[in-house]
Amino acid sequence: MTDYIIALDQGTTSSRAIIFDKKGSIISVGQKEHEQIMPRAGWVEHDPIEIRDNMREVIGIALGRANLTRHDIAAIGITNQRETAVVWDKNTGIPVYNAIVWQDTRTQSIVDRLAGDAGVERYKDIVGLPLATYFSGTKIVWILENVEGAREKAEAGDLVFGTTDTWVLWNLTGGPSGGIHATDVTNASRTLFMDLQTLEWRDDILADFGVPRSMMPEIRSSSEVYGEARETSLLRETPVAGILGDQQAATFGQAAFDAGESKNTYGTGNFLIFQTGTDIVKSENGLLTTVGYKLGDGPTHYALEGSIAVTGSLIQWLRDQLGIISTAPEVEQLALSVDDNGGVYFVPAFSGLYAPYWRPDARGAIVGLTRYANRGHLSRAALEATAFQTREVLDAVNADSGVDLTELKVDGGMIANDTLMQFQADILGVPVVRPVVAETTALGAAYAAGLAVGFWNDLDELRANWQEDKRWTPNDDVEERERQLRLWKKAVAKSMDWVDADVR
Ligand SMILES: Nc1ncnc2c1ncn2[C@@H]1O[C@H](COP(=O)(O)OP(=O)(O)OP(=O)(O)O)[C@@H](O)[C@H]1O
Ligand SMILES: [Mg+2]
């Protein structure tokens, strides 16, 4: 009996395979971290072969732990870190360079060159995005311009590009022998190359970037049968039937399907998505316009997104670079060792600032330091940075939509932190709500796949699966909230204008 769906979540820090039942409950999980390769300041890479192999391994772990085989699995859903670019030789399956990760800022000079006199918003009306290092487009250009022989091979039609959904799909469905080279509309909407109206690659933009169209995957919906897992896979002959970029998947997993519904995910970075239905809404306040989902032949659903580059990764930084904690949860104990932030504010502009500022010239800043400040204050400031950044994105969403959100649905690794969630509610002034199944990213991909094969019938069935687990209610100290926010904004101002010709 095919009673289950397996979701493959190819994330920034790890790859996961999660098996779900019809209620959307987790049956088993396999998870493996991969190396974060940082050869220089601002550069972040992953080894695509390590990711491919980890994905195979975690599929085995998830099946093994649940004591299931492929015969129990109705379909495979894929979700992924978005924007991270892989370029590989389609004849051999060997990448010509490491994956260049979404946080990587090496392509700023390519962004500047493409922006020229027209500015970074030159394609925004078509693709919904400003030119920025964040998106896949300039990462492909960097590989073509900096890897020996890459341009020639690309022009000869031997190299292909994919975000990691495409990389996983291609390998799962046959690799060099017949692998399917496709992506879904949500991932495609993060490249800078897809027209939001037509859902097709724009030849003119590809030409401006110098990226051969033959490298680009086919754009498909988020929920349809793309193909079957190949013979040598543990999941052989199982249909791959759903693909959603991780943030859109989390939104789907939160059952936030309709215009006006939203969620905020607290992972490596934070991403608030606000569904706008079938309307393409242009932001006046620093949000991105992106595709929310498209189910088979159904209408395209669009969304506004507030992307914050550094939230959970700041906690990893305290752990790995400073060594003041040995595990992420320890940050909460340290933060609770002091009464307040001691006047310290930490702006983690490690990749510049994303929403709502979009300032590549910003860099990380810790301000308000005195001789009094200790590790506790620093930990507290690091946690609070996540809440302040979220508040600024929520303000942008409220301004763009013209209605104020009355509560915030949350998910992701950081929501295990009670102190942060309470502070978040206090700084927002609205309740923060966590669902029972916090693995919404994988759940959303499972939903997309399950809908395509009739495992679930409609969205109402999925809505019925959503259940509240916990709610944090804000305190009513409006004056303190506004004071803190004012100081945060002052700190943000101090992080700007750092990168100039002299800063390498
Ligand atoms: N108790 C905690 N307090 C604060 N931060 C935490 C805590 N537990 C985990 N984190 C942070 O949460 C992040 C992991 O969350 P999650 O697994 O949702 O990330 P992610 O972005 O989905 O990763 P990936 O991209 O690999 O899927 C890490 O950056 C970690 O530092
Ligand atoms: Mg994730």
Q: Which residue is closest in CA terms to ligand 1's atom 10?
A: 414
Supply the pLDDT for residue 504: 60
- Give the Cα separation of 432 and 418 in Å (integer): 11
Ligand closest in space to the Cα of 412: 1
- pLDDT in tens for each of the 504 residues of the chain? 679 999 999 999 999 999 999 999 999 999 999 999 999 988 999 999 999 999 999 999 999 999 999 999 999 999 999 999 999 999 999 999 999 999 999 999 999 999 999 999 999 999 999 999 999 999 999 999 999 999 999 999 999 999 999 999 999 999 999 999 999 999 999 999 999 999 999 999 999 999 999 999 999 999 999 999 997 889 999 999 999 999 999 999 999 999 988 899 999 899 999 999 999 999 999 999 999 999 999 999 999 999 999 999 999 999 999 999 999 999 999 999 999 999 999 999 998 999 899 998 999 999 999 999 999 999 999 999 999 999 999 999 999 988 888 889 999 999 999 999 999 999 999 999 999 988 899 999 999 999 999 999 999 999 999 999 999 999 989 999 999 999 999 999 999 999 887 766
Q: Which residue is closest in CA terms to ligand 1's atom 11?
A: 312
Supply the pLDDT for residue 480: 93
Rounded to the nearest 5°, which phi and psi values hold at 114?
-70, -35
Supply the pLDDT for residue 503: 67
SS3 content of the chain, % helix, strand, coil (to 5): 35, 25, 40
Q: Does the Cβ of 314 fall within 6 Å of ligand 1? A: no
Supply the pLDDT for residue 1: 63
Q: What secondary structure letter does DSSP report for 402?
A: S
Distance 327 CA to ligand 1 centre (A): 11
What pTM was computed for the model? 0.92
CB burial readout 451-464, b (16+ within 10 A) else e? bbbebbeeeeebee
Rounded to the nearest 5°, which phi and psi values hold at 364?
-55, 145
- Give the Cα separation of 295 and 1 in Å (integer): 25
Cα dihedral value 421, 29, 328, 429, nearest 10: -10
Supply the pLDDT for residue 423: 96
Q: Does the Cβ of 485 fall within 6 Å of ligand 1? A: no
Distance 294 CA to ligand 1 centre (A): 28
